[in-house]
Structure 1
């Protein structure tokens, strides 16, 4: 590969990009309450954004563009660029909860439909692709945040759907707080070097695609009020089934037969029943994830993700609750991957041990995911802590 300076490339792109900046706050039209994790897509560019807990997002555009707002519980909404003329723009979404989903009777078993969706999505997923990602992670110990890291990353994805490969190029990153020796990257449950492979090959759906799954889960296909072209497959553990079994909701485009969103979590009541058996070893007490995909003309790609992993482990004869929350927002993409050298490739499993290095406030300027006021205060507090 050509030896192009990654730092020079990033600086050049930053200096010459048009800078249109404003904020949006997304709210429920009836309650006026903020809506978290709304996917915002700039229709004239490849840029993506995500609202935080306060419903806020900072929008940095490279050119004028209308914005499309999407959330599984609300009707999609497009706002013209000319209407986004304030420093802070309020956008209201209409809930689709009042529109009840209807069960659809299908010729094929819903699990068979899901397998067809996975197979077709694998054929349609765009490879090669460069995903420009803002990644952030909060670490909790005994329900208190003790560490934070984030970074701008390029995932260079190549190969094919059966053999996905990727190289990670870290543009900028920061880490604040202190991690005890009992919190190591081996315990986190995910690996940055295979996380895209897992998402792009839909491996997290594996547990509900086995023949045994029909004995443990109930499958239903229902309408999706947010979009008449979309359906949803709901997969729920049967009451008599044992183990850490997740609830799934898979949203798909019924005309193109591709997966648009995957939501999964282990129900609180199921975790509570199993909790006592967790206390003696490193066992999961919280597990959830969400993948959202976008189809932009001929490009089918990952738009944003969330993973939450919680586990209890013993350290020095004391039980500790460790929780990690990971968000990834794809802020831009390109079907062409750029040249780089092997020395630029990040080989680690996590950013937790990578030395802090940044040249601008990327978390406010390029992240696509604005921290709330409370989160910023926590990050500032952690920044003031000196490592012993």
Structure 2
């Protein structure tokens, strides 16, 4: 049997909302003509944050005019004048600011100490308390087929409690549709929203690089490279000291040279690491196939906050009578940042772990102007699941 999630208003909502003030921006590399994904676009009038997708595009809606500020760690920033947004698709080109040579930074300091100081300074500098309006979305794939999708607008109120970052969630809008196999636990669906933001604000993904227990099992080959005048990156690759079943990622950390703040973190489990791990064949066991983690942080006029995250995980589950393949793709984009607290009643707080457990609530076509425009492939998937 299948669990069917019925969502009647979907087709109606796609057709009824007006698109009259829609603007679309496409960013391309000036040298290669390739699309530039994960570029941050700030609407200067409203302070809304957009992020380009894999096609290099971002779509938004605005009454009146506003210039746009475009930034990316690998490209020179540009200001887009509102008067230049005259076409259905407005193309702009960015120039790379990466060094053409692979310059390794010579330093007398242990790279692990550099990472330790970066993490400590970044945690201390992150703007808390603060309010983040976040668009969250998730694709669920079972045995190679996309079977479930949800997204929503969430307000995260971040605050400190006994030196720890905590979050309060208010769910503004959400939609959910698809088919879920009854044998798949709801715990496997989605990331825990109550702990996710707290994790991003303490950089827990980097703990293997700082943990003394980990260093006894692994050596990390760490290189500090110069990206450009503003940023360095740190590449950390694990090498096992002894036979172990632990799974450690390859890390890349991009940081601001002057402010000593982390700008990007990427953690990917390499094919070599996965190949070295023995497969568990017991019933109920899980075997990792792919894992990708990436976060981006924004430094802007004295504020420092999470602007986006992308997590992908693919693993197999031994269900006894069959092996099931599960893949989850999760995205967050902070569309608005504010240092003011919001007011709320306890009954308004979202206390469930994932949007899977929330009732559908649709007030606007928020997904069209969420800050993260779906690619043509993603839109095809969403439409297919919703049918």
| Superposition TM-score, scaled by structure 1 size | 0.86
Structure 2 gaps, min length 5: 1-19
Check the 8 A contact 1:185/1:350 in 2, yes or no: no
Matches within 5 A, 1:10-159: 21-61=22-62, 64-96=65-97, 99-159=100-160
Check the 8 A contact 1:188/1:309 in 2, yes or no: no
Equivalent in 368, 371, 374 of residue 371 of structure 2: 368
Equivalent in 356, 359, 374 of residue 360 of structure 2: 356
**347-356 or 264-273, which deviates more:** 264-273
Check the 8 A contact 2:68/2:80 in 1, yes or no: yes
**309-318 or 75-84, which deviates more:** 75-84
Deviation string, structure 1 residues 147-203 (Cα, Å, up to 9, x no partner): 100001101111258222211111110111111133334235831001111001111
Instruction: Using the TM superposition, give the Cα deviation of residue 255 of structure 1 relative to its aligned residue in structure 2, in angstroms.
Output: 1.0
Decide whether aligned partners of structure 1 residues 116 and 376 sit closer, same or farther in structure 2, where only a CA change above 3 A counts. same
**228-237 or 61-70, which deviates more:** 61-70
RMSD over equivalenced CA pairs, Å: 2.2
Query: Secondary structure of 2:355's partner?
Result: coil
1:321 aligns with 2:325: yes
Matches within 5 A, 1:289-300: 289-300=293-304
1:222 aligns with 2:225: yes
Which residue does 1:6 correspond to in 2? Answer: none
Which residue does 1:277 correspond to in 2? Answer: 279
1:169 aligns with 2:173: no
Check the 8 A contact 1:278/1:312 in 2, yes or no: no
Instruction: Using the TM superposition, give the Cα deviation of residue 120 of structure 1 relative to its aligned residue in structure 2, in angstroms.
Output: 0.9
Query: Secondary structure of 2:318's partner?
Result: strand
Instruction: Using the TM superposition, give the Cα deviation of residue 376 of structure 1 relative to its aligned residue in structure 2, in angstroms.
Output: 1.8
Deviation string, structure 1 residues 77-103 (Cα, Å, up to 9, x no partner): 333333333332102223456612311
Instruction: Using the TM superposition, give the Cα deviation of residue 310 of structure 1 relative to its aligned residue in structure 2, in angstroms.
Output: 1.5
Partners of 1:62 and 1:238 in 2: CA distance: 54
Instruction: Using the TM superposition, give the Cα deviation of residue 337 of structure 1 relative to its aligned residue in structure 2, in angstroms.
Output: 1.5
**194-203 or 352-361, which deviates more:** 352-361
Instruction: Using the TM superposition, give the Cα deviation of residue 64 of structure 1 relative to its aligned residue in structure 2, in angstroms.
Output: 4.0
Check the 8 A contact 2:266/2:293 in 1, yes or no: yes
Instruction: Using the TM superposition, give the Cα deviation of residue 22 of structure 1 relative to its aligned residue in structure 2, in angstroms.
Output: 0.6
Query: Secondary structure of 2:212's partner?
Result: coil
Check the 8 A contact 2:190/2:328 in 1, yes or no: no
Check the 8 A contact 1:123/1:161 in 2, yes or no: no
Instruction: Using the TM superposition, give the Cα deviation of residue 316 of structure 1 relative to its aligned residue in structure 2, in angstroms.
Output: 4.6
Structure 1 gaps, min length 5: 1-18
Instruction: Using the TM superposition, give the Cα deviation of residue 222 of structure 1 relative to its aligned residue in structure 2, in angstroms.
Output: 1.0
**27-36 or 72-81, which deviates more:** 72-81
Instruction: Using the TM superposition, give the Cα deviation of residue 304 of structure 1 relative to its aligned residue in structure 2, in angstroms.
Output: 0.6
Query: Secondary structure of 1:270's partner?
Result: helix
1:287 aligns with 2:288: no
Which residue does 2:349 correspond to in 1? Answer: 345
Which residue does 2:5 correspond to in 1? Answer: none
Which residue does 1:14 correspond to in 2? Answer: none
Query: Secondary structure of 1:179's partner?
Result: strand
| Superposition TM-score, scaled by structure 2 size | 0.87
